[in-house]
């Protein structure tokens, strides 16, 4: 009975968490400036996934949790800490997720690991033993293309394929777009540890001005005509992280042209 309730709570929290795009903690890669990337990952796992759940949670909460710990000092219980998080963020779902993860090792260990993880969500979930660690993995990009290669503003599909001979650790794929007007656009996607094999991802890029872009939150990308570079990195851990279990497996570059 208890396990059913926990599973339901995890599912609920996952759904609520999934609504907001996760803010990236160290390297703010996703601008509201109009980059819309969505992922079509094969093969996909549909089962309940605590690693993904943990990373989603910590991308949204780790900074706030650290602030709470620094401000409040001694926190007695998971309940207190997670209620403070729910109050601060206005999200009961984050509070529920926090309690689930905090209860695994207890509040002292939970806090110690937050401090140790230093705002790196993947490393944090590895420390919390929710994500697989594998340091002898590899990945090599075998295909990288954009379709269409040239066309008017609209949706462009970035096609990435890679081969791993020995499997991969929990990591991410980061896509950066070099825009004509110099506004930096990019996004990271968490990649869970995988067995050896060939993997493909299709990323849709909506290369047209985003009507919901709020210019007070940062520059809005206009996708002027011209050539756009696309840079991809596949990494163990967070790309560019100096923490343990982090490494760049491979990088690649391609481009596409927006016609006038």
Residues that bind ligand NAG (CB under 6 A): 136, 166-167, 227, 229, 254-255
Cα–Cα distance measured from residue 259 to residue 122, given in angstroms and rounded to the nearest whole number: 39
Cα–Cα distance measured from residue 167 to residue 198, given in angstroms and rounded to the nearest whole number: 10
The CB-of-109 to ligand NAG minimum distance in angstroms stands at: 27
Please state, in angstroms and as integers, the Cα–Cα distance from residue 95 to each residue in 46, 49, 83, 98, 119, following that order: 24, 18, 6, 5, 18
The CB-of-149 to ligand NAG minimum distance in angstroms stands at: 7
Cα–Cα distance measured from residue 227 to residue 205, given in angstroms and rounded to the nearest whole number: 14
Phi, psi of 101 (to 5 degrees): -75, -35
Cβ-based nearer residue to ligand NAG, 87 or 195: 195
Cβ-based nearer residue to ligand NAG, 15 or 143: 143
Cβ-based nearer residue to ligand NAG, 204 or 255: 255
The CB-of-63 to ligand NAG minimum distance in angstroms stands at: 33
The CB-of-102 to ligand NAG minimum distance in angstroms stands at: 30
Q: How far apart are the first and last CA of the chain?
A: 61
Q: Tell me whether residue 70 is exposed, middle or buried, using C-beta atoms within 10 angstroms of its C-beta: 0 to 12, 13 to 18, 19 or more.
A: exposed
Task: Tell which residue, 131, 124, 111, 13, has the closest CA to residue 65.
Answer: 111
How big, in percent rounded to 5, are the helix, strand and coil portions of the chain?
Answer: 35, 30, 35
Cβ-based nearer residue to ligand NAG, 45 or 165: 165
Cα–Cα distance measured from residue 10 to residue 228, given in angstroms and rounded to the nearest whole number: 40
Nearest residue (beta carbon) to ligand NAG: 136
The CB-of-17 to ligand NAG minimum distance in angstroms stands at: 30
Helices (H), 118-161: 121-127
Helix (H, G, I), strand (E, B) or coil at 236: strand
The CB-of-187 to ligand NAG minimum distance in angstroms stands at: 21
Helix (H, G, I), strand (E, B) or coil at 6: helix
């Amino acid at each position: 009975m208890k396990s059913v309730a926990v599973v339901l709570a995890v599912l609920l929290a996952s759904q609520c968490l999934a609504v907001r795009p996760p803010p990236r903690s160290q390297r703010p890669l996703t601008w509201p400036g109009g980059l819309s990337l969505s992922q079509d990952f094969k093969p996909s796992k549909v089962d309940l996934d605590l690693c993904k759940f943990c990373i989603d949670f910590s991308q949204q909460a780790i900074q706030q949790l650290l602030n709470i710990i620094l401000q409040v000092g001694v926190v007695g219980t998971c309940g207190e800490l997670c209620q403070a998080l729910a109050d601060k963020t206005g999200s009961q779902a984050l509070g529920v997720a926090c309690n689930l993860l905090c209860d695994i090792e207890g509040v002292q260990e939970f806090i110690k690991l937050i401090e140790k993880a230093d705002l790196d969500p993947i490393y944090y979930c590895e420390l919390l033993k929710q994500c697989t660690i594998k340091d002898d993995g590899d990945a090599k990009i075998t295909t990288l293309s954009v379709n269409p290669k040239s066309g008017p503003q609209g949706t462009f599909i970035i096609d990435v394929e890679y081969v791993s001979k020995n499997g991969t650790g929990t990591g991410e794929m980061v896509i950066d777009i070099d825009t004509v007007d110099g506004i930096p656009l990019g996004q990271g996607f968490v990649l869970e540890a995988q067995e050896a094999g060939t993997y493909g991802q299709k990323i849709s890029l909506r290369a047209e001005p985003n009507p919901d872009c709020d210019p007070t939150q940062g520059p809005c990308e206009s996708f002027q005509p011209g050539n756009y570079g696309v840079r991809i990195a596949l990494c163990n851990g967070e790309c560019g992280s100096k923490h343990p279990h982090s490494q760049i497996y491979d990088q690649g570059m391609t481009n596409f042209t927006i016609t006038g």
